[in-house]
Amino acid sequence: VLVDFSATWCVECLQMAPTLRDLEQQYGTSVEFVTLDVSQWTADAGDKELDWWIREFRVDGLPHLAFVMPDRRCITALIGNVPADVLRANVEALAQIKTRTINTEELPALPYIMLDAFDNGKRRVQLPPQL
């Protein structure tokens, strides 16, 4: 799963959107793409579902792209205006993961890890059932 946190007022998010759409068309059968618009989010807005997503994925900058394994471990997050070739390389690597669970503490290496805000991938993210 690739979780894209973006906002309508975020210039970098708007710049990356066409690349994400192209990648979703190409890899959408292997990688699920989820986009969350955080344009109106504030800590006191009262949107408990969006609050959960932002806190669980430790969003502190936009765009924020979280790469999540099939067994719900987050491998890494890329934050900021990520070059298209970097984003494509990570999506390709995520698409290669076929199993729901990997029986080792080792995580598959993504070509680019710009920010690992998820305890080196060992913390499982509790995704809602619909994902």
Report pTM: 0.77
Which string of b and e fits 27-57 if b means at least 16 CB within 10 Å? beeebbbbbbebeebeeeeeeeebeebbebb
pLDDT by residue for the chain (131 residues), tens digit each? 999 999 999 999 999 999 999 999 999 999 999 999 988 776 676 777 788 778 888 888 899 999 888 777 778 888 888 889 889 988 998 888 765 455 545 556 676 665 444 444 444 555 555 54
pLDDT for residue 129: 55
Summarised one tens digit per residue, pLDDT across range 59-74 is: 888 999 998 887 777 7
Counting every residue, how long is the chain? 131
The SS3 of residue 16 is helix
Question: What span, in angstroms and rounded, lies between the C-alpha atoms of 8 and 37?
Answer: 7
Question: What span, in angstroms and rounded, lies between the C-alpha atoms of 31 and 76?
Answer: 15
